[in-house]
Amino acid sequence: MEHNPTSDIQKRKAIYGVGGYNAAMKKALEHMTTVGDAIHHGAELFEAAGLYFGHGTDNAWDESLSLVLYALSLPWNVEASVQSRQLTEAEQSVIAALFERRIDERVPAAYLTGEAWFAGVPFYVDQRVLVPRSPIAELVESEFTPWLPDAPQTILDLCTGSGCIGIACALYLPEAHVTLSDISTDALAVASQNIARYELEERVETLESDLFSSLQQQRFDLIVSNPPYVDAEDLADMPAEYHHEPEIGLASGLDGLDFTRRLLSEAPDHLTEQGVLIVEVGNSWVALEEAYPEVPFLWLEFERGGHGVFLLTAQQLRDCRTMFGAV
């Protein structure tokens, strides 16, 4: 599944006509005299180029804003009055170069800026990890109320990627000890960088593990996971932006459930008596319900959007154990 920038440029030329894109970009740059102009023209160019948004922002304006603020080293909460500030020529060139990479190569803005926000917290990201965007952020922000019997003392963030879920858990639940596990050493290097950023070394550790294989007998009050769950059909249809993300973080077999099947059968051995398992399976929730019609998945709802996140208690997993072995 190679990303092909040449084909993106051809598509772009098809949209603008040969040379039309350059003219549109040149025109935009000529009119980019203030910060506000730059944000405005970036959003226009992104819309016109038919970019996909969904890696940290969901619209052209926010995507442009994030690149402009990054280029100017300005924080997210800068005063709106900054929009009237004049840009220097050097600043214009930096912004133009970012816009061009976003359009020509379809690189998600988070990879260009090296930062993505999750549960109100900024995380370092690069192409070794998925851009954080799980709706599980909402559960973390509410400290998993009302879904857990007590505040969890031990948490496993399985398939941690950048570490966003587990590190946010540690920040919202200051009593918790958190293990961040992933099969990818590259991802764990990014997660370690984020642990250091928040000085959480005493409560948060990383573990290289294929699912539970390195965990031996360890049990947790909460296992939370955003694993790979994209099915073959969705994978083939994904916009170019997704092809900058590690495929190991997305693909999970024909029906998207290869990983989740293993997880369900092994999770009971790694939960405490009152433990809880929370897993995102996105669009694969339909296939999961079909595969295990008897399992009482509790599908959680989200105020800010997102779907396909289920909860099962340790007791429910134990009760259903024979079904997981059977499929």
Ligand X SMILES: C[S@@+](CC[C@H](N)C(=O)[O-])C[C@H]1O[C@@H](n2cnc3c(N)ncnc32)[C@H](O)[C@@H]1O
- Asked if 82 is part of the footprint of ligand X (rule: CB under 6 A), the reply reads no
- Asked if 134 is part of the footprint of ligand X (rule: CB under 6 A), the reply reads yes
Query: How far out from the chain centre does Cα 74 lie?
Result: 23
Cβ atoms of residues 259 and 228 within 8 Å: yes
Q: Using alpha carbons, select from 281, 269, 267 the residue that is nearest to residue 312.
A: 267
Largest Cα separation within the chain, whole Å, is 67
- Asked if 238 is part of the footprint of ligand X (rule: CB under 6 A), the reply reads no
Cβ atoms of residues 264 and 324 within 8 Å: yes
Full DSSP string of 3-67: --HHHHHHHHHHHH-TTHHHHHHHHHHHT--BHHHHHHHHHHHHHHTT----SS-SSHHHHHHHH
- Asked if 208 is part of the footprint of ligand X (rule: CB under 6 A), the reply reads no
| Nearest distance from C-beta of residue 291 to ligand X, angstroms | 18
The token pair that represents 273 in the structure block = 């008596």
- Asked if 227 is part of the footprint of ligand X (rule: CB under 6 A), the reply reads yes
Beta bridge partners of 222: 155, 276
What is the identity of the amino acid at 85?
A: R
| Nearest distance from C-beta of residue 43 to ligand X, angstroms | 26
- Asked if 160 is part of the footprint of ligand X (rule: CB under 6 A), the reply reads yes
The token pair that represents 7 in the structure block = 């084909």
Cβ atoms of residues 126 and 113 within 8 Å: no
- Asked if 115 is part of the footprint of ligand X (rule: CB under 6 A), the reply reads no
| Single residue of 39, 112, 159, 309 touching ligand X by CB under 6 A | 159
| Single residue of 57, 64, 66, 184 touching ligand X by CB under 6 A | 184
- Asked if 206 is part of the footprint of ligand X (rule: CB under 6 A), the reply reads no
The total of other beta-carbon atoms located within 10 Å of residue 8's CB is 16
Based on its alpha-carbon atoms, the radius of gyration of the chain, rounded to whole angstroms, reads: 22
| Single residue of 183, 238, 287, 323 touching ligand X by CB under 6 A | 183
The nearer residue to ligand X, 24 or 121, going by C-beta atoms, is 121
- Asked if 249 is part of the footprint of ligand X (rule: CB under 6 A), the reply reads yes
Cα–Cα distance for residue pair 271/217, rounded to 1 Å:
10
The nearer residue to ligand X, 183 or 323, going by C-beta atoms, is 183
Phi, psi angle pair for 4, to nearest 5°: -120, 95
Cα–Cα distance for residue pair 277/205, rounded to 1 Å:
19
What length is written for the chain? 327
Cβ atoms of residues 124 and 167 within 8 Å: no
- Asked if 182 is part of the footprint of ligand X (rule: CB under 6 A), the reply reads yes
- Asked if 179 is part of the footprint of ligand X (rule: CB under 6 A), the reply reads no
Q: Which stretch binds ligand X (CB under 6 A): 72-80, 92-100, 101-109, 181-189?
A: 181-189
The nearer residue to ligand X, 21 or 212, going by C-beta atoms, is 212
| Nearest distance from C-beta of residue 30 to ligand X, angstroms | 39
| Single residue of 42, 228, 268, 275 touching ligand X by CB under 6 A | 228
Cβ atoms of residues 249 and 188 within 8 Å: no
- Asked if 130 is part of the footprint of ligand X (rule: CB under 6 A), the reply reads yes
| Single residue of 56, 161, 256, 275 touching ligand X by CB under 6 A | 161
String of contacts with ligand X for each residue 287-316, x by CB under 6 A: ------------------------------
Which residues from 185-204 bind ligand X, rule CB under 6 A? 187
Residue least distant from ligand X (Cβ): 161
| Nearest distance from C-beta of residue 193 to ligand X, angstroms | 14
- Return residues touching ligand X (CB under 6 A): 129-130, 132, 134, 159-162, 164-165, 182-184, 187, 210-211, 226-228, 248-249, 259
